[in-house]
Amino acid sequence: MKELHREVPATKGWGAGLARVPEGSDVDLDLRLESVVEGVLVSGTVRARVDAECARCLEPVSWDEFADIQELFVYPPQDARGHRVDVEADDEEDAPPVIEDDLIDLEATVRDAVVLRLPIAPLCRDDCPGLCVECGALLALDPGHRHEVHDPRWAALEALLDEGPKDQQDAVRDQETARDQETVRDKAHDDDKDD
């Protein structure tokens, strides 16, 4: 068995929803490599930095995510003489990863292990109060925040008040129409005089 510690940069696209591992950020790998009959069994722990937005208040939040990995990398299939043969896999998705030219490509294994652990709804803290539904204020900064609660008994009066500006607009429009008509009448009158 061989132990291996590596620090590698995260590649592009390690994310899900509101959380992601920033491209280029350090990913720590603490791995054990075991030689087995079919290939090499890789197991260990991954640590990656996660940047996210809180699902309730949208404030930025970061943490270190740890994920366990275990994956068997198989030797490429060979014929009796030790030459590599290409075998059509029934289902590429389920086929174990293959050791290519004595190299193990851990990227997909590590990425999948981390991304699977990313929360669908990250929170800046468990009891984050989120945003005010009325005005979008950050409630964590303003715990006493509230708006006037409307009494249903006043609702009818409020409806009348709401109609106020519209009535005024109608009135203005009526006045304008009347003025236009007057102008036309005056013009006709002037024309009469000219005759």
Which residues lie near Zn ion (CB under 5 A)? Answer: 54, 56-57, 124, 128, 132, 134-135, 137
- DSSP-derived letter for residue 50 is E
Q: Between residues 141 and 184, which has the closer beta carbon with respect to Zn ion?
A: 141
124's tokens: 């800046």
Report, in Å, the least distance between residue 165 CB and Zn ion: 24
How far apart, in Å, are the Cα atoms of 149 and each of 36, 42, 153, 155? 69, 60, 12, 11
Nearer to Zn ion, 29 or 128 (CB): 128
Among 77, 55, 83, 66, which Cα is nearest to 30's?
66
104/132 with CB nearer Zn ion: 132
* Nearest approach, Cβ of residue 128 and Zn ion (Å): 3
Shortest distance, position 59 Cβ to Zn ion, whole Å: 5
Minimum separation from the CB atom of position 63 to Zn ion (A): 13
From 117, 105, 91, 113, select the one nearest 44 (Cα to Cα): 113
Identity of the residue, 44 or 122, whose beta carbon is nearer to Zn ion in the bound complex: 122
Q: Which of 41, 45, 47 is nearest to 1 (CA)?
A: 41
Cβ at position 151, least distance to Zn ion in Å: 19
Q: Which is nearer to Zn ion, 67 or 128 (CB)?
A: 128
- Alpha carbon of residue 24 to chain centroid: 19
